[in-house]
Every structure is written in structure tokens, then in C-alpha cells.
Amino acid sequence: MSKHIGILTAGGDSPGLNAAIRGIGKAALRKDMQVTGFLDGFRGLTENRSIRLDKKALSGILTVGGTILGTSRMKPHKMLMGGRTRDMTDTIVENYNRHHLDCLICLGGGGTMKNAYRLHQKGLNVLSLPKTIDNDVWATDRTFGFDTAIGIATEAIDRLHSTAHSHHRIIVVEVMGHNTGWLALGAGIAGGADVILIPEIAYDVQKVADAILRRVRRGSHFSIVAISEGAMNKQLSPRFHAAEQRKHAAREAMDKEAKAAASAELDIIEQERKGHTLRVSNQLEELTGLESRVTILGHVQRGGTPSAADRLLASKLGTAAAELVEQGTYGVLVADRGDSYEAVPLEQAVGRRKVVPLDHPWIATARRIGTCLGDK
């Protein structure tokens, strides 16, 4: 009997999602499989809202941004239903069986992968595909969405240069990336930012001001500071890393109380971090005597048509996922590996975040150019 695949997209949307859906669908239809898309992430699977992904539905979506299936950040075990948070895992299992699915393919980032793994532990056949503009999914070379976002952020930095230069100003540009600096570092180098601040390297605002003043002494009266939304100063960074370690240890020890305490501390830190871009801009004005402005790139980095590289990656991983279903390989992340792909068991990939290693070539590149990373 032919196989039946379910697909959902969860978490923040990302350019390339439709290319991946198309890749899975087209490859599956050629093998006489049936494909159903569930709407709005795990919520649609819970509420049994779906569409048939036939040839017509898959046509013309390769270049379209967002996701034709809609998305949400709802988790199966913590779903907001009628104003209450409920564990809807059993309903999801029922709906999976009602549709006689052979596999559920979840397109998302680290959180989605964790949710897919939970369903796998409940006996469902699942696959996970790595999408996010943050590029922070463990065990994959790249995530789709990242290349498009880096292009958008780079173009924005390019454009900020001429206005910063004309007005002899500092412009502090905030780049997305959650708790990792891939996007700010990549776009910062490609766009020629003078300072790049990322979560992996705690910054000292005085050091940033010194770097800007050195530029002034050399005759450059403007500076572009690319700052990750997750960047932290020397005071906040050690607290964040300590709380993250406590949370990880509590999860391993299955200590719910300690995990809740560490999560609460992380929430407090998140609150303290809010508005940091404007604070850095104000501090730099004070310390350098130059005028400073803030640009927050925000969701523009996630919108619109995917780059060619993202279409290619999403198509590669999508078609690979259909191949894995045909083989009956489940419970894996379909990871990008060089020109090919690798099926990485979910238990090896969940609960880990791929941060920028301090010895990464991009960091060395930035330092060799003379870009200030906020620590020296």
C-alpha cells in the first residue's frame, strides 16, 4: 500500500519553507505517496485542520516566502486551548492514526525538533527538517532561511553605511538570531560593520567606544555597529551562561524544580536584555561624543522570497526526507552535510544549540580585518 506523509511547519517562519514542502511533496507524489499538510503547526494537527498537498497545491510555491501551511509556536504538551494550557499529545497521536499517517515531517528549528522527538517517543514515525534564519540547529551544517536572512541583513548594513558616513554618525543595527550570533557575524562581516557584538562574546561598551574613537583619530567619523538581539555585556553574560548550565543539568537530572528555577532566572535575564540596542547606542553617544542612531531590522529578515541557496538547500533536504520515508527511516533530523545530507538520530540533536565556536573562521576573519568584537 502507498505511504501517507503528514507535513507541518512550526516556530517562526523562514524563507525556504515552501521550497521544502514542494520538495517533499513532489518527490513523494512521484513514488505514489499521499501528502497531507497540517495547518498552523502542531495546533492544526491537534485540531485536525489539514489540506491535501496534491500536484496543484505544490505548484508555484518554490519562490514564495513564508509557509503555505501557516505556523505557530504551540507545543503539543503545552497548548493553549480555550484560555488554558493543556497537554494535547494524546489528541495528536489520535489524529495521526485517524489519517493513517506513515510519517509526520516537522519543519522547524530546535524547539520543533524537540517536539517532534517527544512525539517519536510516543511511538509516532517522525522526521525533522532544520529551518531557521538563526542557523542554530545542532548537527546540521546549515539551516534553510539563514542564507536569505544574511542577504537581507547585509544589504541593510550596506545601505546604512552611506547615511552613517554622510552624517558622521554611529549607527547601531540590531540583527536577529535569538541566542546565537551567526546572523550578526555573517552579515556584519559581509556588510563591513566596524563593530560586531554577538552573544558568544561578552562585550564591554567602553572597548567598543575606544574602537570607534580610534577610527575617528584615523579620520573615519562614522561607525556601523552590528549587534545581535541576544548580545550581552560582561555583567549579564556570565549570569546567562550559569543559568543555562543549571537548566541543562536539571534537565539531565530530571529535577523539575531546579529546571523551573533556572528558567525563571533566564526569563529575568531576557527582560533585562530587552532594549539593550538603544542602551548601547546611548552609551556610545556619551562615551564618544558622536551622534548615534538605532536601526532594528526585525522581521524584515524573515520575509519575502528565498535566496537561490535556500531554495536549493530546502529542496535537497525536502526530497531527501521523502527518500527516507520511502526507506522507512524515521526518528531523525535530515541534516545538511556538505553537498549531501545525513540522517542524524533525533536523540543526538535535541536540546543542543549550535552557537558560534570561538575558534570559528568567521571570528578569526573579523579580527584579522580589525573589526571590534567588543572584548578587546
Nearer to ligand F6P, 28 or 152 (CB): 152
**Exactly one of 13, 40, 134, 310 is catalytic; which is it?**
134
Collapse the DSSP code of 161 into the 3-class scheme (helix H, G, I; strand E, B; otherwise coil) and give the result. helix
Give residue for cell 564618544. Answer: 288
**C-alpha grid cell, residue 112:** 520543533
Binding site for ligand F6P (CB under 6 A): 12, 109, 132-134, 176-178, 229, 302
Nearer to ligand F6P, 12 or 15 (CB): 12
Q: Give me the least distance between CB of 133 and ligand F6P, in Å please.
A: 5
Q: Which residue is nearest to ligand F6P (CB)?
A: 176
Instruction: Check if 134 is active-site.
Output: yes
Collapse the DSSP code of 328 into the 3-class scheme (helix H, G, I; strand E, B; otherwise coil) and give the result. coil
Gap between the Cα atoms of 2 and 156, Å rounded: 48
Nearer to ligand F6P, 215 or 302 (CB): 302
Nearer to ligand F6P, 44 or 331 (CB): 44
Q: Give me the least distance between CB of 369 and ligand F6P, in Å please.
A: 25
Q: Is the CA virtual torsion 144, 301, 8, 93 positive or negative? A: positive
Q: Give me the least distance between CB of 109 and ligand F6P, in Å please.
A: 6
**Among 346, 327, 321, which Cα is nearest to 120's?**
346
Task: Reduce the secondary structure of 209-239 to three states and give it as a string.
Answer: HHHHHHHHHCCCCCEEEEEECCCCECCHHHH
| Cα–Cα–Cα angle for 268, 272, 274, rounded to 5 degrees | 115
Gap between the Cα atoms of 21 and 183, Å rounded: 24
Gap between the Cα atoms of 274 and 61, Å rounded: 36
Collapse the DSSP code of 30 into the 3-class scheme (helix H, G, I; strand E, B; otherwise coil) and give the result. helix
Q: Give me the least distance between CB of 350 and ligand F6P, in Å please.
A: 16
Q: Give me the least distance between CB of 352 and ligand F6P, in Å please.
A: 16
**Among 205, 376, 340, which Cα is nearest to 277's?**
205
Nearer to ligand F6P, 130 or 177 (CB): 177
**Which residues participate in catalysis according to the annotation?**
134
